[in-house]
Amino acid sequence: MTEEPLLSVRDLKKHYPIKKGLFNRQVGAAKAVDGISFDIGRGETLGLVGESGCGKSTAATSIIRLEEPTSGEVIFNGRDRSKGSTNADGVHSNDITNFSDRELKAFRRDAQMIFQDPSSSFDPRVKVGSSVAEMLQVHGMSDRRRRRKIVENLLERVGLSASDYDRYPHEFSGGQKQRIALARALVLNPDLIVADEPVSALDVSIQAEILTLIKDLQAEFDLSLLFISHDMSVIKKVCDRVAVMYLGEIVEIGPTDRVFADPQHPYTEALLSAIPTPDPRSTAKGIELKGTVPSPTDPPSGCRFHTRCHRVIQPEGLDIDQSNWRGLLTLRDRLVAGAIDVESMRENLGVAEDSDGTGIRSQLRTEFDLEDQLSDAKAETALKNALDRVVDGDSEGAGEVLTSEFTTPCEETVPDRTRHADDHESACLLHDREGVVTPAAADD
């Protein structure tokens, strides 16, 4: 990005304390957002995409200070700290996280938010026109007639009627309410709009109309947009660049067309594989993410995606089928966590049918996608040893066997951000070994 960005987010964190005990002492923290950085240019749309629970919405509310960030900088309409725009205390003059109440109120004129559920964002007892006009009144416009004229004009611009000013929220459909939410976001003529899943609560047919409207209004008002979604197909339609978020971190960021054509992180690849294809003859299947879903209260070491990654790196000296490698690591993690109930398995199989534990061994291999005989003799020996211990009731010992024999560099090393062409960056250890991530072949 060559021009000075409208918004610069630097190492933003939002941690929620976890407190327990009689004295309500903090014993940990849920790391909802854990050090994200990106820029948004003037007139640009940046998409922030990821699964539910990855921290997208928390990032949005922290950026515009509906929630207080734990740490980091959010520079709005000002130069980067590295260019020297700081005061005597080293605090950036345009850092939203340090704004006073008065400065924050002024900032609200320039940055607005659209929420996911339009129905819950309006007071059912207040006419929609008054809800939109309230923004003008709060920011000093006392002339009621002028406020009404501005709002009526905006309602028409978003595809409604000026007469809708005097109607109540329950009289509108979900799509119409989202149009009103757009009018409310635009009424102060902001420079930046943060749209948090603005179409996910709408029918598919209505989604297309709202997305087209957003693009048209962005061009008309020269808006910058932070567009949050879990749907990659929506991101592709409206965003100039996309940032892929996983467990509080951005794992890939770049121009939308480049990321979609050449994903450089396995998580991005999996998200893209889930986009439905319009070709009825296609038999390609999406990438199924197996493994252990981590918690933001206790994120895994190294690369946070390694507990689910379909490309997790094998250690030196081991060369087995990748699905078997994923299964071994998942089995190891489940055993260590004490998440395998052997007694229930034995009851389901029946003592007579599984007196020697053969059924349990077979069931575990099937459940974790492990072949009857691994191609690597050493790996097969370690697996058999672990399964024998499981059958004997020593799941803890089985976990120790697999832990001592099977480790991946992905859980030991935090990947650095690698820069690719056209400001395309990703954080994956595969780049250190291969230079690029070659897309996996789709299953036929």
Give the domain ranges of the chain: 7-126+177-267, 127-167, 322-407
Token pair for 121: 């964002």
- H-helix segments, 274-341: 322-336
- How far is the C-alpha of 383 from the C-alpha of 385, rounded, in Å? 5
Check pLDDT > 70 for residue 73: yes
Give the rounded percent of residues in the chain with a pLDDT score beyond 70. 91
Amino acid 415: pLDDT: 94
Mean pLDDT for all residues in the chain: 89
pTM attached to this predicted model: 0.89
CATH 3.40.50.300 fits 7-126+177-267, yes or no: yes
**Model confidence pLDDT, tens digit, residues 226-278:** 999 999 999 999 999 999 999 999 999 999 999 999 999 999 999 999 888 77
More confident residue, 436 or 8: 8
Residue 364 has pLDDT above 80, yes or no: yes
Q: Give the phi and the psi of residue 82 in degrees, each rounded to 5.
A: -65, -15
Specify whether the CB–CB gap between 128 and 164 falls below 8 A: yes
Which structure tokens are listed for 282? Answer: 């296609």
Task: Answer whether residue 435 shows pLDDT above 80.
Answer: no
- Residue 319, Cβ neighbours under 10 Å: how many? 10
Per-residue model confidence as pLDDT tens digits over 381-424: 999 999 999 999 899 999 999 999 999 999 999 999 999 887 89
Residue 199 CB burial class (10 angstroms; 0-12, 13-18, ≥19): buried
Residue 24 pLDDT level (bands cut at 50, 70, 90)? confident
CA separation for the pair 332, 386 (Å, rounded): 9
- Dist CA 34 CA 201 (whole Å): 27
